[in-house]
Every structure is written in structure tokens, then in C-alpha cells.
């Protein structure tokens, strides 16, 4: 069962990776970028300006020059740039959508199914391409599953064989007892007094 669970989790992981990679092709919605950027700004703006992080992020997402310049300065101070933040936000959004898709949230499933259909692919097609990279690993897991099942089956056969042998021995013992002659032994007078 452990090997089967490992194989299943590997296949799930491959499907997740394939779907995330597929979703990375699409443009990030400005509101998703703004929300991600707001989280970064909130942690890195001076305390007196932290409340306006959401507003600044939305203005930056709309390409307002003053907001873009201020955000670039904040990002430069922490070793980031706008392109990196966009890539991180895109990956974060793709991962979140993939998780919702795997949890079968109706709106997300509909949205992703439409994107897949528009691109002429299916989740199985995406997974097939990723599966080719891990096929050796999956085949090894399958061999281990087969070995484990063979061991289990051999153990169960041995248990059944031993039960049959023990059962036959018990039946012979019972038969010998039944076939034997019993005689009733009367208690002696001394034993009768001790019993009383």
C-alpha cells in the first residue's frame, strides 16, 4: 500500500507541475499582481506608509509612473526588481489556481478547462509529457509493488498451509481420543473423605 500511495502521490505531483507550467504561459491578471506586490510592500515600507501598500500596489499594477518609481525604489532596497516580482506573482497565482483545480472548486475547474480547451490540450496531455520524464522511476515503483505483492501472497499461502497442517493434526488427536476406550475410575474412600 505504501508503494501504491507513493506512486499515486508522484502522479499527482506530476499533474500539478504540468498544470502550473501550463498556467505560467498566460498573462497575470493585474489584481493578482497587485495583491502579491502589496504583500511585499507591506513588509518593506516604513511603518507610517504600510497602510497604503495596497493602494500603491494597485497604482503600480495600472502602470502609474509615480507609483512604479516608488515601488522600484522599495524593491531595489530589498534586492528585487519588477520582473522578478511579476514572475513570483505569476508562479504564486498558477500554484494557487492549480490547488483549487485539484480541490475541484467549480469556478476554477471551469476556468482552467476553458484555457485547456482553447489551447487544444487536456490535463492528460500535459501529464503525459511530464510522465515521460519520470517513467523509469514509476517503473521501479511498479516493480517494487510487484515484489511486495509476491511476498505478501507467499506469506498468506504459508499461513494457509500451516493452518491446514495444524487443523489436520488437531483432527487426528480428537479422533484418537474419541476412538480410545475410557473407563470410569471410582474415587476411593480416602479421596471421598478429602473431597467432603
Instruction: Look up residue 108 and give its three cell numbers.
Output: 476554477
Give the pLDDT confidence score for residue 54 in this predicted structure: 86
- Please report, to the nearest 10 degrees, the dihedral formed by the alpha carbons of residues 25, 72, 38, 83 taken in order: 10
Give the pLDDT confidence score for residue 181 in this predicted structure: 60
Instruction: Look up residue 37 and give its three cell numbers.
Output: 506586490
Instruction: State whether 121 and 148 are in the same domain.
Output: no
Q: How many domains does the chain have?
A: 2
Q: Which residues, in sequence order, are CB contacts of 131 under 8 Å at separation 6+?
A: 11, 14, 138
Instruction: State whether 81 and 148 are in the same domain.
Output: no
Asked, for residue 196, whether it belongs to a domain, the answer is: no
pLDDT tens digit string along 28-87?
Answer: 888 899 999 888 888 888 777 766 888 888 888 888 888 888 888 888 888 888 899 999
User: pTM surpassing 0.85?
Assistant: no
Which residue segment(s) compose the domain that 84 sits in? 2-133
Give the pLDDT confidence score for residue 122 in this predicted structure: 86
Asked if pLDDT for residue 188 goes beyond 80, the answer is: no
Give the pLDDT confidence score for residue 180 in this predicted structure: 63
Instruction: State whether 93 and 162 are in the same domain.
Output: no
Asked if pLDDT for residue 195 goes beyond 60, the answer is: no
Amino acid at each position: 500500500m505504501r508503494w501504491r500511495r507513493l506512486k499515486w502521490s508522484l502522479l499527482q505531483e506530476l499533474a500539478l507541475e504540468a498544470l502550473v507550467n501550463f498556467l505560467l504561459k498566460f498573462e497575470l491578471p493585474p489584481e493578482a499582481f497587485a495583491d502579491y506586490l502589496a504583500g511585499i510592500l507591506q513588509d518593506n515600507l516604513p511603518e507610517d506608509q504600510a497602510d497604503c501598500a495596497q493602494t500603491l500596489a494597485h497604482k503600480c499594477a495600472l502602470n502609474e509612473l509615480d507609483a512604479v518609481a516608488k515601488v522600484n525604489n522599495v524593491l531595489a532596497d530589498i534586492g528585487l526588481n519588477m520582473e522578478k516580482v511579476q514572475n513570483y506573482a505569476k508562479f504564486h497565482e498558477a500554484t494557487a489556481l492549480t490547488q483549487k483545480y485539484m480541490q475541484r472548486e467549480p469556478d476554477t475547474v471551469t476556468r482552467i478547462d476553458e484555457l485547456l480547451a482553447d489551447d487544444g490540450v487536456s490535463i492528460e496531455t500535459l501529464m503525459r509529457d511530464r510522465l515521460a520524464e519520470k517513467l523509469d522511476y514509476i517503473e521501479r515503483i511498479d516493480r517494487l509493488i510487484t515484489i511486495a505483492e509476491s511476498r505478501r501472497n507467499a506469506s498468506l499461502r504459508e499461513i494457509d498451509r500451516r493452518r491446514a497442517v495444524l487443523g489436520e493434526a488437531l483432527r487426528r488427536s480428537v479422533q484418537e481420543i474419541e476412538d480410545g476406550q475410557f473407563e470410569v475410575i471410582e474415587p476411593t474412600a480416602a479421596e471421598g473423605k478429602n473431597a467432603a
